[in-house]
């Protein structure tokens, strides 16, 4: 290829890649597969490799191209990044508004969620990202430009912008789901986990190696134009410009006419905070008029034209009463803190995770300590630290057990692992968790099979491994205390239905160490049946992109065990589907986006999602104007109202059933 042709092709590839990046990371609306996207990126990388003089700083290939640095340089902000004054109730918000009304006849606001993340300022010259700086002390911060470039929702080049010099402010954050996956991966690698999403964000964005930052699930919402060579009259107008040129802005941001409407919206945000996939700890009210903002100015610490409304506390202090040991499906012993019950964010918390025994030592936690407990959305409450100033002399260190608390087997601690494990495969606790995992919603989705029922099945010697579930008769279920004819039949029906779950769900449900939902998906793309997987060579497994050597080793080890092979044979014997479905060429829902709100009577959420995905559709967790269908069941949430406001297609359960049939 000559250079002239390379220039034309590079320009086209960059344009296409930036477009698809925007669709995926900003609009949450991908229109090509990950494989197709990677193909475009690799083609661009190859051409740039052949013509290195054509590489530019805004090329998509440069997002993780920088080498590790020794330290962060300190940079002065163009305008100070001030903190916000806080309010904690409606009266304080009204007082703030009344002070403004002494200066202005009326005040309208823009209200936005207060993201629990790390603030940053991004500078663009002629549309190109030239610098990114942390908030720091408000006057100066650390230059994190290389790390910011790894965040896919940060545009390297702005689209159709007529502003030559622009500074914007944003909040870098990590989603709850991303945080959970990150900690899970760190645990599997025996590396220290993060305490919360903010801690994980701060620890990630300050990595000296951009390649590590690129591996972390960071995101950003840009919320303000802090400097521009273009006159902008309102904050609402600024947000429209930001979105238009390619920034990710928060879709929940709302313009309101007065303080009462602002208060109502703050209350709405607080109600839905647990439903969001990112943490918010309050709302921010900003005067919409830029002219009024300038008139009010700032104190040395806070702008006078904006204020933060803080939601109910998500942290509290309480007493650590004792530490119990939980034994998981892989035999891992996990310490669980038993607390003096305390209200956090409107929920009573009496238990918290301690992750592992090293965590207890690292945080210097003793039984009887007063501890700081944090609850964050659907993340399990955890102990952040011990309040050592309140420690009593008789508080005791926790002794790591030498025997499994359930079956009394000597525990093992493999040298390269943090975890301490019970090696007894017949340990009742291990069996309970294995069955629970196999029956879980993301695996075989066996309804009505909870912990209490599994415990009774084990106590009554009805099950000794996973496959025994499928050999249970109605009389066996009726022999369990609490079951009647109808409830027993419901469980039998649910077990029978689970036989037809997808191949990837079966792989995940088997509970192979290090094989999560994502790994199961990768495996199911490479093998069409369980027999193929059983006969797979470990070296072939290692060649599968995205699987990893450790996971490949665990898969090979699992299927080299006669006990596990017998389990598979028994599952096949009872009719559990162990092959992939034939690919359906006709995909009536191809690229269609579905959102569910409320519960359906005829299908579980998992079943209905599987049906849609099998027909080419996509399941989204939040509503946007590009959503094709909103399926409404019993007790719908706030998504229904948003769908109505956007004029989206809304289907009740009966209409949904007609659609999928």
Q: How many residues does the chain have?
A: 661
**DSSP β-bridge partners for residue 141:** 75
The pLDDT value recorded for residue 556 is: 93
Tens of pLDDT along 19-51?
Answer: 887 776 676 566 776 667 777 888 888 888 788
- Strand ranges (E), 216-305: 218-228, 254-256, 280-287
Torsion of CA 9, 14, 19, 22, to 10 degrees: 170
| Nearest partner of 113 among 310, 293, 246, 292, judged by Cα | 310
The Cα angle at residue 505 between residues 184 and 633, in degrees rounded to 5:
95
**Whether pLDDT at 610 is above 60:** yes
The pLDDT value recorded for residue 311 is: 86
**What CA–CA distances, in Å, run from 20 to 28, 609, 616, 661?**
10, 25, 19, 32
Q: What is the mean pLDDT of residues 379-385?
A: 81
The pLDDT value recorded for residue 61 is: 80
| Nearest partner of 162 among 245, 57, 79, 233, judged by Cα | 245
Asked if 327 contacts 305 with a C-beta cutoff of 8 angstroms, the reply is no
The pLDDT value recorded for residue 70 is: 63
| Nearest partner of 72 among 143, 152, 155, 147, judged by Cα | 143
Q: What is the mean pLDDT of residues 614-626?
A: 80
User: Rounded to whole angstroms, how far apart are CA atoms 314 and 375?
Assistant: 5
Catalytically active residues, by annotation: 114
User: Rounded to whole angstroms, how far apart are CA atoms 44 and 16?
Assistant: 11
The pLDDT value recorded for residue 415 is: 57
Structural domains of the chain, with CATH: 3-55 (1.10.287.610), 76-310 (3.30.470.30), 315-390 (2.40.50.140), 428-573 (1.10.150.20), 593-660 (3.40.50.10190)
User: Rounded to whole angstroms, how far apart are CA atoms 27 and 244?
Assistant: 12
**Whether pLDDT at 381 is above 70:** yes
The Cα angle at residue 440 between residues 219 and 547, in degrees rounded to 5:
55
The pLDDT value recorded for residue 498 is: 94
Among 119-133, 366-380, 402-416, 463-477, the range scoring the smallest mean pLDDT is 366-380
User: Rounded to whole angstroms, how far apart are CA atoms 146 and 71?
Assistant: 12
* Percentage with pLDDT > 70 across the chain: 94
The model's pTM: 0.53
The pLDDT value recorded for residue 472 is: 95
- The alpha carbon of residue 109 and the mean position of all alpha carbons in its chain are separated, in whole angstroms, by 30
Residue in the block written with tokens 């013509």 = 51
**Whether pLDDT at 653 is above 70:** yes
Asked if 146 contacts 69 with a C-beta cutoff of 8 angstroms, the reply is yes
**Whether pLDDT at 198 is above 70:** yes
**Whether pLDDT at 264 is above 60:** yes
Q: Are strands 650-651 and 629-632 parallel, antiparallel or unpaired?
A: parallel
User: Rounded to whole angstroms, how far apart are CA atoms 407 and 620?
Assistant: 43
């Amino acid at each position: 290829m000559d250079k002239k042709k390379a220039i034309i092709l590079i320009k086209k590839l960059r344009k296409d890649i930036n477009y698809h990046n925007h669709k995926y990371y900003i609009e949450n609306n991908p229109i090509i597969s990950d494989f197709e996207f990677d193909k475009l990126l690799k083609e661009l990388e190859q051409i740039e490799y052949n013509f290195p003089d054509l590489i530019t700083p805004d090329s998509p290939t440069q997002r993780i191209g920088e080498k590790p640095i020794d330290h962060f340089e300190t940079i002065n902000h163009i305008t100070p990044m001030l903190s916000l004054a806080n309010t904690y109730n409606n009266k304080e918000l009204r007082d703030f508004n009344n002070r403004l009304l002494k200066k202005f006849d009326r005040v309208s606001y823009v209200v936005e969620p207060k993201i629990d993340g790390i603030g940053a300022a991004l500078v663009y010259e002629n549309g190109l990202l030239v610098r990114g700086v942390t908030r720091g002390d408000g006057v100066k911060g650390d230059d994190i430009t290389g790390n910011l470039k790894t965040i896919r929702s940060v545009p390297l080049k702005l689209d159709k912008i007529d502003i030559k010099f622009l500074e914007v402010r944003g909040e870098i954050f990590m989603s709850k789901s991303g945080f959970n996956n990150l900690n899970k991966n760190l645990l599997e690698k025996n590396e220290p986990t993060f305490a919360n999403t903010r801690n994980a964000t701060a620890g990630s964005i300050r990595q000296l190696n951009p390649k590590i930052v690129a591996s972390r699930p960071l995101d950003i919402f840009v919320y303000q134009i802090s400097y521009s060579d273009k006159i902008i009259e309102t904050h609402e107008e600024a947000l429209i410009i930001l979105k238009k040129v390619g920034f990710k802005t928060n879709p929940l941001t709302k313009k309101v006419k007065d303080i009462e409407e602002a208060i109502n919206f703050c209350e709405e945000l607080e109600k839905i905070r647990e439903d969001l996939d990112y943490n918010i700890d309050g709302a921010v009210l900003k005067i919409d008029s830029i002219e009024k903002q300038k008139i009010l100015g700032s104190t040395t610490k806070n702008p006078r034209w904006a204020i933060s409304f803080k939601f109910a506390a998500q942290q509290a202090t309480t007493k650590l009463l004792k530490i119990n040991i939980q034994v998981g499906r892989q035999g891992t012993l996990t310490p669980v803190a038993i607390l003096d019950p305390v209200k956090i964010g409107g929920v009573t918390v009496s238990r918290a995770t301690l992750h592992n025994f090293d965590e207890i030592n690292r945080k210097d936690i003793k039984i009887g300590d007063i501890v700081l407990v944090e609850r964050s959305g659907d993340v399990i409450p955890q102990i952040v630290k011990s309040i050592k100033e309140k420690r009593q002399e008789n508080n005791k260190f926790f002794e790591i057990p030498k025997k499994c608390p359930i079956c009394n087997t000597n525990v093992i601690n493999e040298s390269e692992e943090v975890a301490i494990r019970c090696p007894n495969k017949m340990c009742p606790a291990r069996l309970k968790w294995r069955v629970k995992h196999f029956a879980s919603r993301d695996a075989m989705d066996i309804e009505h099979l909870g912990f209490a029922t599994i415990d009774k099945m084990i106590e009554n010697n009805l099950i000794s491994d996973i496959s025994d579930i499928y050999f249970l008769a109605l009389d066996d279920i009726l022999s369990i205390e609490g079951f009647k004819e109808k409830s027993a039949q419901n469980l039998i029906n649910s077990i029978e239905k689970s036989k037809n779950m997808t191949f990837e769900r079966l792989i995940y449900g088997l509970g192979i160490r290090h094989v999560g939902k994502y790994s199961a998906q990768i495996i199911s793309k490479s093998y069409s049946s369980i027999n193929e997987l059983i006969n797979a060579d470990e070296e072939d497994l290692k060649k599968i992109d995205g699987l990893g050597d450790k996971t490949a080793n665990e898969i090979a080890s699992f299927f080299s065990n006669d006990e596990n092979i017998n389990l598979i044979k028994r599952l096949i014997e009872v009719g559990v589907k162990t092959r992939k479905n034939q690919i359906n060429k006709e995909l009536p829902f191809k690229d269609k986006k579905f959102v569910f709100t409320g519960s359906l009577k005829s299908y579980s959420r998992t079943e209905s999602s599987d049906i849609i995905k099998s027909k080419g559709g996509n399941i989204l967790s939040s509503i946007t104007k590009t959503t094709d269908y909103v399926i409404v069941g019993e007790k719908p949430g706030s998504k229904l109202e948003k769908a109505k406001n956007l004029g989206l297609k809304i289907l009740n359960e009966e209409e949904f059933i007609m659609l999928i049939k």
